[in-house]
Amino acid sequence: MEDFSTKKESHKRFSIQVTKKDHGKRLDQFLSEANLDLSRSQAKNLIEKHLVLLNRKPTKPGAHVRAADIVSGSLPEPEPLSLEAEPLPLSILYEDPSIIVIDKPMGMVVHPAYGNPSGTLVNALLYHCNDLAGINGILRPGIVHRLDKDTSGVMVVAKNDGAFHDLTNQFKNRTVKKVYLAIVFGRMSQDEGSIESAIGRHPTQRKRMSTRAKRGREAITRWKKLEGFDGCTLLEIFPQTGRTHQIRVHLSSIGHPVLGDPLYGRTGRPGAIHDPVLRECAKRMNRQALHAQRLEFTHPRTGERVQFVSPIPQDMKDLLECLRRHCGEGKA
């Protein structure tokens, strides 16, 4: 890429000529990899608003660039936040001027969206931190990754622009190590394995993701069996990519959905469990048995490798105790 921007540091206006090595890339991908400090979702949003032009013409995020094309446009200044700060409880694992690491409870949505305008992690962060305004747009200040509403566990949030762009690149370059715990339906026959199936939007059900999408993106999930029971398995999960609902979709695709998953786990729902004691334990948990246990990354300010751990939540702990008592504890 050759950057012809006259004010590169301000990133207000830019003009970039596509080189041979970027020939054939999607426009949103090309922009996210340019030196503009944009995530792919941010690039897509700017293209859709016609703030980015391809050869002086508006186009779509999926348009493919060719060598010698000119990509130009303007980057608006961050808009002021229009969200309410709310005094919601936060379980803070670590905090410094650059980052804050949260132990997110199940049931909390990460950022506001249709149907969840308040009560989110972002609302709580705005109350706790007074310096998030302008980082990554209006609704997602400082958010560099997310957990589903009913997935619990460790999350890192950036507190300034430098930390945001550094962490965003780490996630994009797959240098962040993520480890999850999941209780899945059915007993896994192997001790470990890898699922490598592309994931994209479900062709007819827009709230779901699928491994059968026509335009899926690469997704890789490694897993290791920790304990096996009659009808369930405790797994340690190592996602190598970060697609929406990746772990839940992948495990469901091999016939072992996360226990209690309301979207991808028809066979893993409590009603499908024959043992009455275990069924009652799963009902009391009332969510998918998925927990983000560990997160390891390079600190954006110090350059040191750091790791944070979220202890297994009580509802999953109770379910495991129920499994050990009534379904026979097994070894990996």
User: Which are the catalytic amino acids?
Assistant: 148
What span, in angstroms and rounded, lies between the C-alpha atoms of 301 and 165? 12
- Give the CA count within 13 Å in the CB-facing half-sphere of 15: 7
Separation CA 246–CA 252 (nearest Å): 10
Smallest CA-to-CA distance from 212 within 253, 247, 246, 241 is with 253
CA distances from 210 to 149, 188, 273, 290 (A): 19, 22, 24, 18
Contact call for residues 158 and 97 (beta carbons, < 8 A): no
CB neighbours of residue 203 within 10 Å: 12
CA atoms within 13 A on the CB side of 148: 21
- Tell me the β-bridge partners of 297: 306
Token pair in block for residue 195: 């699922």
d(CA 297, CA 170) in angstroms, rounded, equals: 8
